[in-house]
């Protein structure tokens, strides 16, 4: 019997090593190398999204290639389109990540409901049954999505067959960590499975001109789970952020090949789903006490939007020889530098005060 070749792959960046190492040489992360069976070549993508027939074609002049913004499709949600740069680009592969329970599936289910009124949309669920998705859709008031279809599947071959047969305008995969390529003898969510499944979906998106949105889990550090190559393969990477103590949700792009990465989408979670926040400054300043020392409102720019935000500060006399410097939401080193400038220019005696 032939010996099965194995390798050690970093779960953070996908770096391959011949043996186990405590620290990844590629990204420097600790205890991230796991043993997996090696494949001689990409199973579903052939190492590229370009098909073999396309590789044999002659090159074309850039001036002869037709590029038009008519290929963009609106998600039906203005804040979502703002972050995307005006809507989905046909044939693009989009990755959205966020903490568990933050509202990723709710947001995409609302996109599913809005777009399925005029476009052919496929929602692939690997974590819920169609009945459970229908319950959530009814709660969001999306029961009339006649052109929207659900598929409960985790096998890549099944999803590929449906995409090639139905050719939807948009396909939502929830989530990429649940997909598995049958030819690979590795657990779903492993480095090789995520890499191969994403490569196959990338090929389908480009060849069939289908918009594919992937939902990704995040690690405890806030990074999208899986190999770092996952973020390099997709066209757009979005993060959906928020806290369980606030109903506000923020959508931002950290990578966007078809738009800017400094735009910010703001939503509010309600019983009937996510609601777009038109007056973001009012929502951010809600409940702010008036005429209280240590509180100030300042303006900042997020993309093309001006926001009013509150900054709070507290100074107390230090009980120790070295004063404490604590910051939340801003860089601590920058706060320390600003305190040094204030103390130097205005001699406030901040070097003897704890700053929070």
- CATH code assigned to 74-278: 3.40.50.300
Q: Where are the domains of the chain?
A: 6-37, 74-278, 313-355
Q: Which two tokens stand for residue 232?
A: 């390099």
3-class state of residue 320 by DSSP: coil
The 3-state secondary structure of 224-272 reads: ECCCCHHHHHCCEEEEEEECCCCCEEEEEEEEECCCCCCCEEEEEEECC
- Residue 351's pLDDT is what? 83
Q: Give dist(CA 176, CA 97) in Å, integer.
A: 10
- Residue 55's pLDDT is what? 54
Q: How wide is the angle at C-alpha 322 spanned by C-alphas 317 and 323, nearest 5°?
A: 40
- Residue 60's pLDDT is what? 83
Q: How many beta carbons lie within 10 A of that of residue 284, not counting itself?
A: 16
Q: Give dist(CA 10, CA 187) in Å, integer.
A: 15
- Residue 208's pLDDT is what? 92
Q: Give dist(CA 127, CA 188) in Å, integer.
A: 12
Name the strand (E) or helix (H) holding 17. Answer: strand 16-17
- Residue 1's pLDDT is what? 37
Cβ-proximal residues to 341 (8 Å cutoff; 6+ apart), any chain: none
The closest of 205, 204, 201 to 216, measured between CA atoms, is 201
- Residue 85's pLDDT is what? 92
| Low-confidence stretches of the chain (pLDDT beneath 70) | 1-4, 38-56, 67-70, 143-145
Pairing of the two strands 88-89 and 72-73: antiparallel
pTM of the model: 0.83
- Residue 70's pLDDT is what? 57
């Amino acid at each position: 019997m032939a010996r099965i070749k194995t390798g050690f792959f970093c779960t953070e960046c996908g770096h391959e090593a011949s043996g186990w190492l405590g620290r990844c040489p590629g990204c420097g992360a600790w205890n991230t190398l796991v043993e997996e069976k090696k494949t001689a070549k990409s199973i579903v993508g052939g190492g590229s999204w370009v098909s073999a027939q396309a590789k044999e074609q002659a090159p074309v002049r850039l001036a002869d290639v037709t590029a038009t913004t008519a290929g963009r499709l609106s998600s039906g949600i203005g804040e979502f389109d703002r972050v995307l740069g005006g809507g989905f680009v046909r044939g693009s592969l989009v990755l959205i990540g966020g903490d568990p329970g933050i509202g990723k599936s709710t947001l995409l289910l609302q996109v599913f409901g809005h777009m399925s009124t005029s476009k052919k949309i496929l929602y692939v669920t690997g974590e819920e049954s169609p009945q459970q998705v229908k319950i959530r859709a009814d709660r969001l008031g999306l029961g009339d999505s006649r052109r929207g279809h659900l598929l409960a599947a985790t096998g890549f071959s099944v999803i590929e067959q449906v995409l090639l047969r139905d050719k939807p305008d948009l396909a939502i995969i929830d989530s990429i960590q649940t997909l598995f390529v049958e030819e690979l003898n590795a657990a779903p969510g492993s480095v090789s499975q995520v890499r191969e499944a994403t490569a196959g979906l990338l090929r389908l998106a480009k060849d069939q001109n289908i918009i594919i949105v992937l939902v990704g889990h995040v690690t405890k550090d806030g990074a999208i789970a899986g190999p770092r190559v996952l973020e390099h393969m997709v066209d757009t990477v979005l993060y959906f952020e928020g806290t369980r103590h606030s109903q506000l949700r923020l959508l931002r792009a950290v990578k966007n090949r078809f738009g800017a990465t400094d735009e910010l989408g703001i939503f509010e979670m309600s019983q009937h789903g996510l609601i777009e926040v038109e007056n973001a400054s009012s929502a951010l300043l809600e409940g702010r006490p008036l005429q209280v020392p240590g509180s100030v409102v300042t303006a900042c720019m997020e993309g093309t939007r001006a926001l009013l935000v509150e900054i709070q500060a507290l100074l107390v006399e230090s009980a120790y020889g070295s004063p404490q410097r604590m910051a939340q939401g801003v860089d601590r080193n920058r706060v320390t530098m600003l305190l040094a400038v204030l103390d130097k220019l205005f001699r406030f005696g901040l070097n003897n005060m704890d700053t929070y």
